[in-house]
Amino acid sequence: MIDRPFTRRDLLRRGLVGGAALSLPGLLAACGGDGGIEGQAGQTESGEETTAERKLAQQLVFANWTFYIDVNEKTKKRPTLEKFTRETGVKVRYVEEVNDNEEWFGKYQAQLKAGDDIGRDIVVLTDWMAARMIRLGYVQKKDKEAIPNEQNLNPALASPGWDPSRDYSLPWQSGLTGIAFNKKTIGRVTTVDQLLTDPKLKGKVTMLSEMPDTMGVLIAAQGDDPTKVTDDAFDKAIGTLQEAVDSGQIRRFTGNDYAEDLATGNVWACLAWSGDIAAGIKNPSIDFTVIDTGSHLWTDNMLIPNGGDVFTASTYMNYVYDPAVAAEIAAYVYYITPVEGTEERIAEFDESAVGNELIFPTEETLGKTFIFDAEASDNPDYKEKFQAVIGA
């Protein structure tokens, strides 16, 4: 068993627990093998077959979000990455550089457009940004022969419209966007209306710089459908958001970096991602709630940028789709795992994780979620209006 910080575990015990867990197929309806290390066939950036030898690289460069993989709190090392190195000989350079999808894309867009190697073998991006990367031709096809464990992918996630055969992508984790709050400073905050209008929270609120999260929960809160966004619904919600900015109610817009402000008391309530609160904030006064009017359900995906080593990246994907490895990761990050068989193994790493709603949501919780309109996520007019409001 890995060493876990008891303060974090205690926090999670106080969170959403219990209830009959609903599988991810039910979730979406309601709103292993060995890694091949030898071989000859490979793929070019265009996905065409090549006769180049399939050989593991000496190093895998993996770009991810913060608080998004298992960590030994005593040694500060990452057990599953170390195990991957022992099993394959591949050293992993793990870079926590994704704080916001647009921010990451903007950093590398010029290089990607020019066809340059950005020095990353795997990057984890949210589904709508993954769709953009695929559409623009900035990523390579996986080597599916090297990923027999992909059979453990939850069937509900097997065929998204933007990558119907999962040729380019593989889910890392899914999660919920809800409200995090400091009970000592403000008590319970459970509605979007409280965030935007409660005078006690003026200047103590942050919202997310990810448009699908912030606009999705606002559209749902006003009674419109965030899964099929109309111009009228979007404009109404953006107007509400602008008013909250102009009044000083909203302190700023953030990516993962809201966690520090929330922990220190600079922020009393915010839109937050479920696993961040569990993994990154060790303050027992901090709590998380699913929004009654609707919380955003999203998936982050592993992609292989152009220039990355396809075979080595695919071998790593196969490794993390072993249920035992997926369970070790899930027991730390507390997001919804996409790997079937994880729930049966998670007690080996954290008994308190069994049945925890942050990983295995109940039907009641999932009935309060939505998946934001994929086309609206990349609508240029919507993005321009949102960026104008948040000042990005």
pLDDT band, residue 284 (cuts 50/70/90) = confident
Which pLDDT score is estimated for 106?
A: 96
Q: What is the pLDDT of residues 209-219, one digit of tens each?
A: 999 999 999 99
pLDDT at 91 over 80: yes
Q: What is the mean pLDDT of the chain?
A: 86
The label of the residue with tokens 């919202």 reads: 207
- Radius of gyration for the chain, computed over Cα atoms and rounded to the nearest angstrom: 20
- Please give the C-alpha separations between residue 270 and each of 196, 197, 341, 361, in angstroms, as whole numbers: 10, 13, 33, 21
Which pLDDT score is estimated for 221?
A: 97
Which pLDDT score is estimated for 27?
A: 46
Q: What is the pLDDT of residues 262-278, one digit of tens each?
A: 888 899 999 998 887 76
Nearest to 365 by CA among 27, 14, 11, 134: 27
59: number of Cβ within 10 Å: 14
- Identify the bridge partners of residue 337 per DSSP, sorted by sequence position: none
pLDDT band, residue 53 (cuts 50/70/90) = low
Q: 179, 213 in Cβ contact below 8 A?
A: no
Which pLDDT score is estimated for 278?
A: 63
Q: Which helix (H) or strand (E) holds 177?
A: strand 169-182
Q: Is 332 exposed, middle or buried (0-12, 13-18, 19+ CB in 10 A)?
A: buried
Q: What is the pLDDT of residues 127-155, one digit of tens each?
A: 999 999 999 999 999 999 999 999 999 99
pLDDT band, residue 26 (cuts 50/70/90) = very low
pLDDT at 381 over 80: yes
Task: State how far the Cα of 338 lies from the Cα of 209, in Å rounded to an integer.
Answer: 25
Region class of 38: left (phi > 0), else alpha (psi between -120 and 50), else beta: beta
| Residue ranges in 203-268 assigned as alpha helix (H) | 211-221, 231-246, 258-264
Domains of the chain: 6-174+299-363 (3.40.190.10), 177-297+370-390 (3.40.190.10)
pTM above 0.85, yes or no: no
pLDDT band, residue 392 (cuts 50/70/90) = low
Give me the percent of the chain exceeding a pLDDT of 70. 85
Q: Which amino acid is at 27?
A: L
